[in-house]
Amino acid sequence: MTSADSHDPADTTTGVRLQKVMAAAGVASRRVCEDLIAAGRVTVNGVMVREPGTRIDPETDRVTVDGTAVQLDTTRRYYMLNKPTGIVSTMRDERDRPDLRRFTDALEDRVYNVGRLDTDTSGLLVLTNDGELAHVLAHPSFGVEKTYIAKVEGRLEPRTLTTLKKGFDLDDGFIQADRAKIISAQSDSTHSMIELTLHSGRNRIVRRMLDAVGHPVVELVRRQFGPLHLGTLRSGQVRELTKVELGHLLTVSRAQNRED
């Protein structure tokens, strides 16, 4: 049992008032936070609290509002990058290739990338200084889903989707897609577009899967990472996650931690 698990949310003698902590975290004004608490919409370590005077330890206790996690540590930062092709997913490349520093040097906080996208793959990359969350999102055992759009050689057939979803063996073990669908196929059958969702974090896994079914990748972009969507973020742009996005991301992270 962690210290967060052992904290009694009914304790009003130590710690910081819950509504003050929530307001500092950007949930809402103190008055609105008090209303949320009184309405039973707030939990501390999984226990509903209705008393606004409840005191908590912001360093160890975990708060949710309407089931969505709240980050109480205001020093943590979370960004989304639409990584262009030609960029190595590292903060300092030993071979002096273009790396992520060109996007992170302008940020006020020192952050690190969560997982990697290979040099020829573009799309959504998370940058953060939250080591716990980064571990959960990047580690294959936690199974966070990623969705990719791939332009591939040849005309995709429905039976190929079936193969991808049923799974097959690669050199490093069995693999299967969680979901797969054809987006479009060129009339001349030279290329097709496929959307592929999987939770594996293995190296170049999408490219290897599509190679194995006879459709080598021409272009590949990651559009979704867990609950985050790339949306309209342009190639090479960085933005901070919204409160809603961060809440969803933390909720996924904490749920995975409980299952681990």
Q: Is residue 123 within 8 Å of 117, Cβ to Cβ?
A: yes
C-alpha 230/C-alpha 180 separation (Å) is 19
Choice among 93, 109, 118, 178 that is catalytic: 118
C-alpha 23/C-alpha 34 separation (Å) is 10
What element of type H or E holds 139?
A: none
Q: Which residues contact 97 (CB under 8 A, 6 or more apart)?
A: 88, 119
Angle at 141 between CA 168 and CA 251, to 5 degrees: 120
Give yes or no: 96 in active site.
no
What element of type H or E holds 80?
A: strand 78-83
Q: Is residue 222 within 8 Å of 120, Cβ to Cβ?
A: no
Give the three-state DSSP class for 184.
strand
Quote the tokens at residue 139: 């580690």
C-alpha 20/C-alpha 1 separation (Å) is 26
Active site residues: 118
